[in-house]
């Protein structure tokens, strides 16, 4: 009987720890433990960032992300840990010190043209390869203004990963 109770206790403890990690991010105002909105985008601060299976160094490293500036979507928070989704869809936990608030974008799908305005007929200011990283400067309804290697222009939100479809900001 004691073994059954011990096993039951361990299962309940595991469930409560998992719920605590989830509850830390569930606020009525859509903000995480940091007070910032969740979900939101950030980027990798360095060329080597460990993504773990759980929020702490005791959890195994599942991925090592190796591209500084890669945009990631923060989807949950627990203390100093952020659960993120990377462009390929993989999810894991990263320490907040490995993240930057700098908004970045990565070109997805096929090569794209960076336009001078928010119209596909506007002049092309640069041709972008799949995987090109750029900084997100602002977003309107369907287009965002970005900077790739010093060249500024506009891309439709569907051409890159790094902004929510409904997101509008200056």
**Tens of pLDDT, residues 22-79:** 445 445 568 888 889 999 999 999 999 999 999 999 999 999 999 999 999 999 999 9
Q: How many residues does the chain have?
A: 170
Tell me how far apart the alpha carbons of residues 162 and 113 are, in angstroms, rounded to a whole number: 17
In the block, tokens 């320490």 appear at: 95
What is the torsional sign of CA 104, 84, 89, 67? positive
- Phi first, then psi: what are they for 120, rounded to 5°? -60, -15
User: Among the residues of the chain, which ranges form H helices?
Assistant: 2-23
Q: What pTM was computed for the model? A: 0.82
Q: Which of 163, 97, 156, 158 is nearest to 135 (CA)?
A: 163
């Amino acid at each position: 009987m004691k073994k059954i109770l011990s096993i039951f206790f361990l299962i309940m403890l595991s469930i409560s720890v998992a719920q605590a990690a989830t509850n830390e991010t569930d606020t009525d105002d859509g903000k995480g433990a940091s007070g910032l909105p969740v979900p939101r985008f950030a980027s990798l601060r360095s060329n080597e960032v460990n993504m773990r299976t759980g929020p702490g160094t005791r959890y195994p490293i599942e991925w090592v992300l190796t591209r500084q500036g890669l945009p990631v979507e923060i989807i949950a928070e627990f203390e100093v840990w952020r659960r993120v989704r990377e462009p390929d869809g993989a999810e894991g936990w990263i320490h907040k010190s490995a993240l930057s608030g700098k908004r970045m974008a990565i070109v997805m799908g096929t090569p794209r043209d960076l336009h001078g305005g928010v119209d596909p007929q506007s002049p092309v200011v640069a041709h972008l390869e799949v995987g090109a990283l750029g900084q997100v400067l602002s977003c309107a309804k369907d287009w965002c203004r970005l900077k790739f290697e010093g060249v500024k222009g506009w891309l439709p939100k569907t051409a890159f990963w790094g902004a929510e479809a409904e997101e509008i900001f200056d």
